Amino acid sequence: MCRTCVAAATKELAAICSREKVAVICYDECMIRYSNKFFSTVALRPRIHLGNTQNITEQDRFNGLVHTTMTDLASRASNFPIGVKKFGTNQTKFSEFQNLYSFVQCTADLSSIDCNWCLQTAINRFPICCGGKQGGRVLFPSCNVRNYENFLSYKHEIDCTEKGNLAGVQRGERLETVSPFTEGFVTGKGSAIC
């Protein structure tokens, strides 16, 4: 699955962003990034926020649980040496019938300190895009975080990135971006920023 995803993402990224110096495409199963800058530093831009449109009950309690769970998960996932896959998954009970599924990941070239800083920065963006929502995702070139209530958005045997979907986002839809020269698109299977 990972190899197929990388091949498709590479082809689509070349078609969409062929004249750009910096580009990222993120599918559910993989992320491809190229840049004219050194990779072993934290890149927080361009970035994409994806939030579920459905609200959660008990928003304050849920938002607190998301923050606590994701912060702990980021700390554990970032505590690996350079070159080792830095990701973590977690399932936490929210109520008798609801679970919170969480995923965090950094690129393997980051130090533990840089990985944790990137993840914490992404987690701190959740209230902006996804506060009170049933799920959300923050994507940076160097790391990404994701949480969902009552939706298993990862597999334990992850090879590239998490398994899930971009709920409610349609092909060709523009996403929130943070710089005037950057555009974000939802492609057939994922999100591209260039």
Which range among 8-22, 103-117, 146-160 has the greatest average pLDDT?
A: 103-117
pTM beyond cutoff 0.85: no
The chain-wide mean pLDDT, for the chain, equals: 75
Q: What's the confidence (pLDDT) of residue 150?
A: 59
Query: Can you name the CATH fold of 2-193?
Result: Killer Toxin P4; Chain A (3.30.430)
Q: CA–CA separation, 80 vs 136, rounded Å?
A: 25
Contact 10, 32 (CB under 8 A): yes
What tens digit of pLDDT does each residue of 50-109 get? 888 888 888 899 889 999 999 999 999 999 888 778 889 999 888 888 888 999 999 888
Chain centroid to CA 24 = 12
